Amino acid sequence: MTLRSLMQPHRIVLMLLFTALVLWCAFSLRWDWIPKYAPLALEGLWTTIWILLVTTFLGFLLAVPLGLAQAIGPWYLSVPARTFCTIIRGTPLLLQIWLLYYGLGSLFPQFPWIRSSELWPYLRQAWPYAVLALTLSYAGYEGEVMRGAFSGVNKGQLEAAKAFGMPRFTMFRRVWLPQAIRNVLPTLGGETILQLKATPLVATITIVEIYSVSSRVRADTFIVYEPLLLLAVSYMLIAGIITLAFRRFENKVPS
Amino acid sequence: MELILETLGLAESAQLLSLSPPGWGANLLRGLANSLQIAFGAFGFGLLIGLFGACGKLYGGPVVRDLLAIYTTVIRAVPELVLILILYYVGTDLINKLASMMGYGRVEISGIVAGIWVLGIVQGAYSTEVLRGAIQAVPKGQIEAARAFGMPAFMTMRRVTIPAMMSFATPGLANLWLIATKDTALLAIVGFSELTLETRQAASSTRAYFTFFLAAGALYLLVTLFSGLIFGWIEKWARRGQPSLKGGR
């Protein structure tokens, strides 16, 4: 969008109206709770961001074998992979999170060897379940995308790599995977924003991220709209940053 | 039957899931019915918004187009959960203000209507984009031909544009329907007793978390697979008369 396209008369009017709305919000709504809750909100924001980064990274690592298994795997690999993707995509994420947290959380204490293991202090907290659920969910959606990406790479490229005598793993690392990722970069960006929009669900299993901070403000002070508006704006900002980052990345890769 | 369940160690689960009162099966099914009702309503409402939104984006004036762009961008960038809360509070506030202006007392809003309103607005943004793409994919000549015959705008829409765009829109709409069924689970957080919340209540009062969550997952999965089948038929019907892509090239 250029400056010239922004300077059309109707857009100027809309922008003025929008500025007026923002000013009205700033002056006539209540914002006096912000200083008190700012440290908590920043902590929540950080939790949201690290959960997003960790789960997209791990989910993508899991999605590559899932996509590969569906694209070229023998039936004993492709059928389980496809079943996994169907189940993840066919059930609500909230249900998956609750199944893992309440289900596994009630199952683990029954085994004494888990309770005495070194992992137990972590397993008693909520975040491993949140990370696991979000990772599996991202992997399920992304596995489907990667399947298409792997089968979409031009066969000639792979044949050329083979003709150069590349070992299979090198061929995968240097030719197949980079091209597959390049083709689906826009989809990956969209999926990452979807993942960002899934993070508030982990607030239901007692993780203090930015959404649960806003719920807490609402519960403590009975202010309804202001925390929610601020929350929506901060999600929009993060989504905007993700979009910009992916656009930069897309511009960098040769097409 | 009972013997099989007994040997598999599932007798307890079967008892918990049975439809008569000691079991919670009836609750789950009632939750599923609520979920489906909301999903249907929200999908339909979203489709209506989407149809108007798509027409506005394609044929509207500059102001309408900019406003619709803001609507679809904002809705798609903010988590559904946050939107649900905002729209829920805004909706109840507006209705209560209207009611008190007209001299009634506070109005109790039914969960189903609130759910349909909230999810419908969210769905509207997505279906605006889907339908806009589908309408754009209809060859221009067909719409121009309808105009040349002197068809009014509404009749062109009903008799030419919508039937011709159906085959392009069906895959996207199928996706949206699946999103609608899964998004109903989010209403559990605002306390509406749909399938996920019923499941959680059943699970936490019997402590049989795996049984109930897996059963609910199976129900959702059944809905998904069944809808896939139905949308497959709809797409086949929408594509009738079009040359097959498989043998075409």
Could you read off the pLDDT of A153-185 as tens digits, one per residue?
888 988 999 999 999 889 989 999 998 988 888
CB contact under 8 A, B220 and A92: yes
Does residue B26 form part of some domain?
no
Does residue B243 form part of some domain?
no
Task: Compute the Cα dihedral for B108, B113, B119, B120 and give only its sign.
Answer: negative
Domain span at residue A175 reads 41-252
CA distance A255 to chain B (A): 24
Structural domain count, chain A: 1
A99 part of contact set with chain B, CB < 8 Å: yes
Residue in the structure block whose two tokens are 């149809």: B51
Query: Is the entire prediction scored with pTM above 0.90?
Result: no
Does residue A247 form part of some domain?
yes
Give the tens place of pLDDT for each residue, A90-132: 999 999 999 999 888 888 878 888 777 777 878 888 889 999 9
Q: For position B53, which CATH number holds?
A: 1.10.3720.10
CA distance B30 to A36: 43
Does residue B119 form part of some domain?
yes
CA distance B122 to B82: 11
Domain span at residue B170 reads 31-238
Structure confidence at residue B6 as a pLDDT band (50, 70, 90): low
Does residue B8 form part of some domain?
no
Structure confidence at residue A1 as a pLDDT band (50, 70, 90): low
Give the tens place of pLDDT for each residue, A6-64: 778 888 888 888 888 888 888 888 888 888 888 999 999 999 999 999 999 999 999 99
Residue B203 pLDDT more than 90? no
ipTM of the complex: 0.84
Residue in the structure block whose two tokens are 């249907």: B40
Using CB atoms, pick whichever of A14, A103, A232 lies closest to residue B82.
A232
Pick from A87-91, B69-73, B178-182, B200-204: least confident: B200-204
Structure tokens at B21: 């009162």
Q: For position A85, which CATH number holds?
A: 1.10.3720.10
Does residue A10 form part of some domain?
no
B112 part of contact set with chain A, CB < 8 Å: no
For residues B7-22, one letter each, b for 16 or more C-beta atoms within 10 angstroms of the residue's C-beta and e for the rest, the string is eeeeeebbbbbeeeee
Structural domain count, chain B: 1
Which residues touch B133 (CB under 8 Å, ≥6 apart)? B168, B169, B172
| Residue numbers in A near B186 (CB within 8 A) | 92, 94, 201
